[in-house]
Amino acid sequence: MGLLCITTGVANESEAVSRLFIKRFTTIPSFYISQAKLSNIQAWFHKDNLSNFKPLPVKVLDGVPILTDGHTRAVFAILAGLESVPLIYEEDELDWNLYRYCVEQCKQRGIHSPYDLVDRVISANEYEEKWIGWCDQIPSKIQQDQK
Protein backbone atom coordinates (compact mmCIF):
# COMPACT_ATOMS: atom_id res chain seq x y z
CA MET A 1 0.00 0.00 0.00
CA GLY A 2 1.21 3.51 -0.71
CA LEU A 3 3.76 4.85 -3.10
CA LEU A 4 7.09 3.16 -3.58
CA CYS A 5 9.55 5.92 -4.35
CA ILE A 6 13.28 5.65 -4.96
CA THR A 7 14.72 9.04 -4.06
CA THR A 8 18.29 8.27 -3.03
CA GLY A 9 20.58 10.78 -4.70
CA VAL A 10 17.88 12.71 -6.56
CA ALA A 11 18.72 16.32 -7.32
CA ASN A 12 15.18 17.73 -7.40
CA GLU A 13 11.46 16.98 -7.31
CA SER A 14 11.27 16.56 -11.09
CA GLU A 15 13.89 13.83 -10.99
CA ALA A 16 12.17 12.19 -8.01
CA VAL A 17 8.85 12.02 -9.87
CA SER A 18 10.50 10.58 -12.96
CA ARG A 19 11.83 7.75 -10.78
CA LEU A 20 8.53 6.86 -9.13
CA PHE A 21 7.22 3.37 -9.51
CA ILE A 22 3.49 3.74 -9.13
CA LYS A 23 1.42 1.04 -7.61
CA ARG A 24 -0.72 3.41 -5.59
CA PHE A 25 -0.41 7.13 -5.16
CA THR A 26 0.01 8.28 -1.60
CA THR A 27 -2.41 11.16 -2.02
CA ILE A 28 -5.13 12.08 -4.48
CA PRO A 29 -7.28 15.20 -4.12
CA SER A 30 -10.68 14.03 -5.37
CA PHE A 31 -13.78 12.51 -3.75
CA TYR A 32 -15.59 11.05 -6.75
CA ILE A 33 -15.20 9.82 -10.32
CA SER A 34 -17.70 10.66 -13.05
CA GLN A 35 -19.16 7.66 -14.87
CA ALA A 36 -19.45 9.82 -18.01
CA LYS A 37 -15.72 10.61 -17.89
CA LEU A 38 -14.90 6.91 -17.45
CA SER A 39 -17.03 6.11 -20.50
CA ASN A 40 -15.19 8.74 -22.57
CA ILE A 41 -11.84 7.19 -21.69
CA GLN A 42 -13.06 3.77 -22.78
CA ALA A 43 -13.27 5.08 -26.37
CA TRP A 44 -9.51 5.62 -26.68
CA PHE A 45 -7.89 3.56 -23.91
CA HIS A 46 -5.90 0.46 -24.86
CA LYS A 47 -4.38 -1.45 -21.96
CA ASP A 48 -1.57 -2.86 -24.08
CA ASN A 49 -0.74 0.42 -25.82
CA LEU A 50 -0.50 3.52 -23.65
CA SER A 51 0.70 5.81 -26.46
CA ASN A 52 -2.60 7.73 -26.23
CA PHE A 53 -2.39 7.92 -22.43
CA LYS A 54 -1.47 11.48 -21.45
CA PRO A 55 0.95 11.21 -18.50
CA LEU A 56 -0.57 11.94 -15.11
CA PRO A 57 0.88 15.07 -13.51
CA VAL A 58 2.44 14.55 -10.09
CA LYS A 59 3.70 17.18 -7.65
CA VAL A 60 5.68 16.56 -4.51
CA LEU A 61 3.75 18.70 -2.03
CA ASP A 62 5.11 18.96 1.50
CA GLY A 63 7.27 15.92 0.79
CA VAL A 64 4.33 13.81 -0.41
CA PRO A 65 3.67 12.95 -4.08
CA ILE A 66 0.16 13.98 -5.13
CA LEU A 67 -1.75 13.53 -8.36
CA THR A 68 -2.77 17.02 -9.57
CA ASP A 69 -4.97 15.86 -12.45
CA GLY A 70 -5.99 12.72 -14.27
CA HIS A 71 -7.86 11.05 -11.41
CA THR A 72 -10.36 9.47 -13.79
CA ARG A 73 -7.61 8.11 -16.05
CA ALA A 74 -5.88 6.66 -12.99
CA VAL A 75 -9.07 4.90 -11.88
CA PHE A 76 -9.74 3.63 -15.40
CA ALA A 77 -6.22 2.18 -15.53
CA ILE A 78 -6.84 0.41 -12.21
CA LEU A 79 -10.12 -1.00 -13.48
CA ALA A 80 -8.26 -2.23 -16.59
CA GLY A 81 -5.81 -4.10 -14.36
CA LEU A 82 -2.77 -1.83 -14.73
CA GLU A 83 -0.47 -1.22 -11.79
CA SER A 84 1.53 1.59 -13.35
CA VAL A 85 0.88 4.47 -15.75
CA PRO A 86 2.97 7.20 -17.39
CA LEU A 87 3.72 10.15 -15.10
CA ILE A 88 5.04 13.65 -15.56
CA TYR A 89 6.25 16.21 -13.05
CA GLU A 90 3.72 19.03 -12.52
CA GLU A 91 5.55 22.19 -13.54
CA ASP A 92 2.61 24.59 -13.45
CA GLU A 93 2.32 26.88 -10.45
CA LEU A 94 -1.05 25.92 -9.05
CA ASP A 95 -2.78 27.08 -5.88
CA TRP A 96 -0.91 24.75 -3.53
CA ASN A 97 -2.88 25.91 -0.49
CA LEU A 98 -6.02 24.77 -2.29
CA TYR A 99 -4.39 21.39 -3.00
CA ARG A 100 -3.31 21.08 0.63
CA TYR A 101 -6.90 21.70 1.69
CA CYS A 102 -8.26 19.14 -0.79
CA VAL A 103 -5.69 16.53 0.24
CA GLU A 104 -6.60 17.01 3.90
CA GLN A 105 -10.31 16.71 3.14
CA CYS A 106 -9.67 13.51 1.19
CA LYS A 107 -7.69 12.03 4.07
CA GLN A 108 -10.55 12.84 6.44
CA ARG A 109 -12.86 10.90 4.10
CA GLY A 110 -10.51 7.91 3.89
CA ILE A 111 -9.40 8.68 0.33
CA HIS A 112 -5.66 8.18 -0.02
CA SER A 113 -5.17 6.80 -3.52
CA PRO A 114 -6.98 6.19 -6.82
CA TYR A 115 -7.86 2.74 -5.47
CA ASP A 116 -10.08 4.45 -2.91
CA LEU A 117 -12.08 6.04 -5.75
CA VAL A 118 -12.92 2.80 -7.57
CA ASP A 119 -16.10 2.43 -5.51
CA ARG A 120 -16.91 6.14 -5.71
CA VAL A 121 -18.03 6.33 -9.35
CA ILE A 122 -21.19 8.42 -9.70
CA SER A 123 -23.38 9.80 -12.50
CA ALA A 124 -22.41 13.01 -14.28
CA ASN A 125 -25.21 14.90 -12.53
CA GLU A 126 -24.15 13.64 -9.11
CA TYR A 127 -20.52 14.47 -9.94
CA GLU A 128 -21.48 18.01 -10.88
CA GLU A 129 -23.48 18.41 -7.69
CA LYS A 130 -21.23 16.60 -5.20
CA TRP A 131 -17.69 17.26 -6.47
CA ILE A 132 -17.84 20.38 -8.65
CA GLY A 133 -20.28 21.98 -6.22
CA TRP A 134 -17.93 21.21 -3.33
CA CYS A 135 -14.94 22.60 -5.28
CA ASP A 136 -16.80 25.85 -5.97
CA GLN A 137 -17.08 26.39 -2.21
CA ILE A 138 -13.40 25.79 -1.41
CA PRO A 139 -12.20 29.43 -1.45
CA SER A 140 -14.76 30.46 1.17
CA LYS A 141 -14.00 27.34 3.27
CA ILE A 142 -10.27 28.10 3.22
CA GLN A 143 -10.97 31.68 4.28
CA GLN A 144 -13.16 30.45 7.16
CA ASP A 145 -10.46 28.02 8.29
CA GLN A 146 -7.87 30.81 8.31
CA LYS A 147 -9.94 32.96 10.69
By DSSP bridging, strand 87-89 and strand 20-21 are unpaired
User: Residue 64: beta bridge partners?
Assistant: 61
Determine the pLDDT at residue 10.
38
Give 6-47 pLDDT, tens digit per residue: 233 334 555 444 444 445 555 678 899 999 999 999 999 999
The predicted pLDDT at position 118 comes to 93
pLDDT tens readout for residues 98-133: 888 888 999 999 998 888 999 999 999 999 999 988
d(C-alpha 16, C-alpha 8), whole Å: 9
- Neighbouring CB atoms inside 10 A of 106's CB total 20
pTM of the model: 0.80
- 87 Cα distance to chain centroid: 11
